Amino acid sequence: MIEQLRTQLKTLALLDAIIEPEWAFRYFSFDSHWSDEEEVGSLRDGSGGQWFLWIKGDLAGYKCLSPDDGCMPDLEVVLRETPEAYQSFIREPAFSMDQATCIWFIQNSDCVRYGLPVQFLIDLETVSQWKAGDYLEWARDYYERDFDLGGIEKIFRGEFSTELAQTLNPQINLKDLQADLLEIGIT
């Protein structure tokens, strides 16, 4: 489960890095070097909705804040009772643990979920199931332009190349993209 999530989030982050060179305007990102032992995938919608997937070995923690869905009422209780293995996740200031719609704790393929259902923000469960066509439909709407489905399908299959990046975004700066590839963990 965790490996599938990692691969999917790296794919989405790579596509966003190709399509939108400005990090601040991207929806999906992935940092494969969050720390020596940790990786982080994230989503930011530009309107206050955000989530983070923290990965450390066979553990993952997911924190989502969807303002339109509200905040979980028992957040403090969940944070107090969080297992020791997840302490670096819940104590990370970048994850803004003062508000959450939901928090999940994942170990291998087991997932314990707390909080409210997410209906008004694309959540982790949804993007984990996306295929190339789903990303294309979303990207057309979000970036307000069309993209080559064949190129997106190749990225989903792990077939990245600089030529493919230039096909998806003819204005891409390959030097800037190279830095993004290192951060995402694409070699």
Q: For 95, which DSSP code?
A: G
Please state whether the predicted TM-score (pTM) of the whole model is above 0.75. yes
Q: For 56, which DSSP code?
A: E
Q: Where are the alpha helices (DSSP H) in the chain?
A: 2-19, 75-80, 87-90, 124-128, 132-143, 149-156, 162-168, 174-184
**Rounded Cα distance, 32 and 16, in Å:** 16
Average pLDDT across each block of 10 residues of the chain; the chain has 187 residues. List them in order. Answer: 96 97 94 96 95 97 97 94 93 91 95 96 96 98 95 97 96 94 93
pLDDT the model gives residue 70: 97
pLDDT the model gives residue 35: 94
pLDDT the model gives residue 174: 93
Beta bridge partners of 42: 29, 52
pLDDT the model gives residue 187: 80
Q: Could you state, in order of their start, the residue ranges of all structural domains in the chain?
A: 1-184
pLDDT the model gives residue 107: 95
Sign of CA dihedral 100, 38, 113, 27: positive
